[in-house]
Amino acid sequence: MKFTETAIAGVWLIDLEPLTDERGFFARTFCADEFAAHGLDPTVAQCNVSLTSEAGSIRGLHYQVAPAAETKLVRVVRGANHDVAVDLRPCSTTYRRHVAVELSAENRRAMYVPADFAHGFQTLVADTEVEYQMGAPYTPGTDRGLRYDDPALAIPWPRPVTTISQKDRTWPLLTR
């Protein structure tokens, strides 16, 4: 795996290093030792999958707070999305800034989202399927969210929004 840190400390892109032969290729998508060697928490407590039917749909921006703050390793296995991580660490020099990247079945790239970051995405094509490896299990009462259209975040989504859940549409706005 090839690890590339983004402009926001703690958020990493992980690209495959495939071994190819006449059959196709083989590649590791996760190795606890390699994650730990890059200072990333290798804990996997839960795995999730989402399928989003309509292009332009938004899921997020979601996070959990302590004691259930979670890391996420996010990979698109079918389709493509515009994936976003927002820094919510109050003492960070990049507080409330975001990093965005295209994740797709074609590029096979993953994004590591550390704890204390909100995560969300917009589908770029219909029937996009996303797999998540979570560092903590879902814990009712610790889940939170940010509005995708919050002016304090100023996230430029690449497509008009087609579908978003009622819950994600009604998270409170941040105060500036």
Q: What is the pLDDT along the chain (176 residues), one digit of tens a residue?
A: 999 999 999 999 999 999 999 999 999 999 999 999 999 999 999 999 999 999 999 999 999 999 999 999 999 999 999 999 999 999 999 999 999 999 999 999 999 999 999 999 999 999 999 999 999 999 999 999 999 999 999 999 999 999 999 999 999 999 76
Domain topology for 43-169: Jelly Rolls (2.60.120)
For the chain, give every domain's residue range: 43-169
Handedness of CA 132, 36, 67, 62 (dihedral sign): negative
| Whether 156 contacts 129, CB under 8 Å | no
Q: Which residues are catalytic?
A: 62, 132
> Cis omega before residue 140 (within 30°)?
no
